[in-house]
Amino acid sequence: MRPVHLILILLLMPAACTTVVEPDPVLAAQITPAQINAGMRQPAMDESLVWGGRVNLVTNLRDRTLIEIRSYPLSGKRKPLTDRPSSGNFVLEMDGFIEPAELRPGLLVTATGRYAGMLSYREQAQTQRLPRLRGSGMHVWASAPTARSSRQHPDVRWNLGIGTHGSGVGVSIGL
């Protein structure tokens, strides 16, 4: 094999391994919070829905917790695709107390539940009306490790190279 062919193969290999994550077509066909807010579509009361996105705000009431979420399309694994345009905000209503320090703003969640109408509430000087999902389940996605936490141990790699032209052998250690 000529060196030029080998170089072309090595340059094109990463492109062959690239994966593009597309939204799940079944979940993408669901009514979105943005469609409800715009009056384009209206789900039936108690319609089962799966929505997900990024946590904006957690508010604990006496017997339940309201979680305002910025919605995004979901992948086939039901993970919010935050590189896609948002599909509006919604409020997830869960029974009981949820610790706001554990469900902090910015975390990704996927919620299953039933449509429970619109919820009006005051945030600062504005009144908002958002679709409400009466939650039956919620998955909190693990946050991505920070640069500091992902490199707690040195990354040591051993490499062995054998040359065919000019007979060379080398060993290297990379950190």
CA dist., res. 65 & res. 91, Å (int): 10
Q: pLDDT above 90 covers what percent of the chain?
A: 53
Q: Which fold has domain 25-143?
A: OB fold (Dihydrolipoamide Acetyltransferase, E2P) (2.40.50)
pLDDT at 53 over 60: yes
Hunting for tokens 């399309």 — which residue is that?
73
Rounded Cα gap, residues 46 and 24, in angstroms: 22
Residue type, 156: V
Under 8 Å between Cβ of 68 and 89? yes
pLDDT higher than threshold 80 for residue 116: yes
More confident call, 79 vs 21: 79
Instruction: Tell me, yes or no, if the pTM score tops 0.85.
Output: no
> Which pLDDT does position 90 carry in this prediction?
96
Return the ∠ at Cα 76 (arms to 118 and 80), rounded to 5°.
50
